[in-house]
Structure formats: C-alpha cells, structure tokens
Chains A and B, each alone.
Chain A
Amino acid sequence: DIQMTQSPSTLSASVGDRVTITCRASQSISSWLAWYQQKPGKAPKLLIYEASSLESGVPSRFSGSGSGTEFTLTISSLQPDDFATYYCQQYNTYSRFGQGTKVEIK
C-alpha cells in the first residue's frame, strides 16, 4: 500500500503569508496527486489535480508542484477564506489520503 505523509500537521499563519504544505508518498506516484480543502462541517473541495493542474474556479493563489514522491501545495498570499484543513490524495493505486494539515490563524 502507498502511504501518504503530510507535513506539518498544523500550521499557524497570518493573512498575507506564503504557505507551503508538503506531501510525501511512500513510493513513486508519478504526478497522480490531488489536493483538497475542507472547512468545518463541509465536504472537501478539489483544488489541484495531477500535481499541478488548478481546478476550474479555484483562485490562482493556490498552486501545486512535485512528482514522484514529493509534492507541495503553496498558497501565495493567505486569505481569510483559506483557513481550513488541506488533504493530499494519491490516485496512482486506487486512492489514499494524507492525514491532513490544519491551517489556523496565528
């Protein structure tokens, strides 16, 4: 089974900060990685697929990069609406999510 490890588990940041979340796969998954945002009491929302493709309607301050086993989600300038939990998901072999990264207000 492919394991997904996100870091950090919690991130404290201020509005306007540049934020980076890392996701590591236990084996190569090529570019078969997606990122989701989830707010309390809401369903997850797709942000990025195929490691770096921005889902339609998602603000351009979100970007993804990486391939193989190491990936990053970057928020270029954190906005109030971005405080949420973020998950990576590999879909190279069925599917598995990372444990999540909570972005909270500093």
Chain B
Amino acid sequence: EVQLVESGGGLVQPGRSLRLSCEASGFTFDDYAMHWVRQAPGKGLEWVSGISWNSGSIGYADSVKGRFTISRDNAKNSLYLQMNSLRAEDTALYYCAKGGLVVVIGYFDLWGRGTLVTVSS
C-alpha cells in the first residue's frame, strides 16, 4: 500500500526540541522529493520544508529557517524534521508529503495523516 506514516509529535514546552519522523512505503522513496507541511488548528496550510531526492537541495519557510532541519534516509525510506527552539506558534498538525518531482520545488501528490505538535508550558 502506498502510504506515509508520521510519528514523533506531542506536547513540548517552549524552547525545547522535538524530532518528527515519516516512514514511506509502496513507492520508490529515493525517486522523489519530500516535504513537511503544517496546519495550525482551524487554519490553512503552510509549507514548512522540502528536500530533494538526494538531499542536494533543501528549502525552508522563513518562519522556521534556522530552527528546523529536514533530513532523509533513503535506505530506511524515512524523512525527518528536527525542530529546535519551539514556539507556541509552531503548534500544528504536521503532514509529511511526497513531492511529485525529484526536485525540491513541486506539488504534493501523497500525504500522511499528520502528527500533532503542541507547544505549551
């Protein structure tokens, strides 16, 4: 079955760190770019970060640049998001999304169910 399964979300205090994971199955993982997209409660979609098939090209939204780090392990069919210096405004459902192309710029043709990150003291 073609799917993406996120994990690692939870309740964390402001200023702390969290690492999200996404495990892919059912497609050739290293043929595609991968992304993280988030959605704050009751709000719209916000692209967070993307990584090309070979990790050669990486991009971040201005809102997370310098605090979040995206990475992938093609041998494990896995995508990661290391989130440091978390803020209340980072509270959201974080989706893992498969890019439609190998390059980091593209649309998203497969989404996971998301993992909830809540930043609160």
Chain A contact residues, CB within 8 Å of chain B: 1, 32, 34, 36, 38, 43-46, 49-50, 55, 87, 89, 91-100
16 contacts between A and B (CB under 8 A): A1-B62, A38-B45, A43-B113, A44-B95, A44-B108, A45-B111, A46-B100, A46-B108, A46-B109, A89-B45, A89-B108, A91-B106, A94-B59, A95-B35, A95-B50, A95-B105
Q: In the complex, what's the smallest C-beta–C-beta distance from B107 to chain A, in angstroms? A: 4
How far, in angstroms, from A92 to B56 measured CA to CA in the complex?
18
CB <8 Å contact, A100 and B44? yes
Q: In the complex, what residue of chain A is closest to B49 when comparing beta carbons?
A: A94
B105 touches A92 (CB 8 A): yes
Measured CB to CB, the closest approach of chain A to B121, in angstroms, equals 27
Residues of B within 8 A of A (CB): 35, 37, 44-47, 50, 59, 61-62, 95, 100, 104-109, 111-114
Total cross-chain contacts (CB, 8 A): 57
Alpha-carbon distance between A92 and B103 when the two chains are bound, in angstroms: 12
Q: Which residue of A lies closest to B101 (CB)?
A: A91
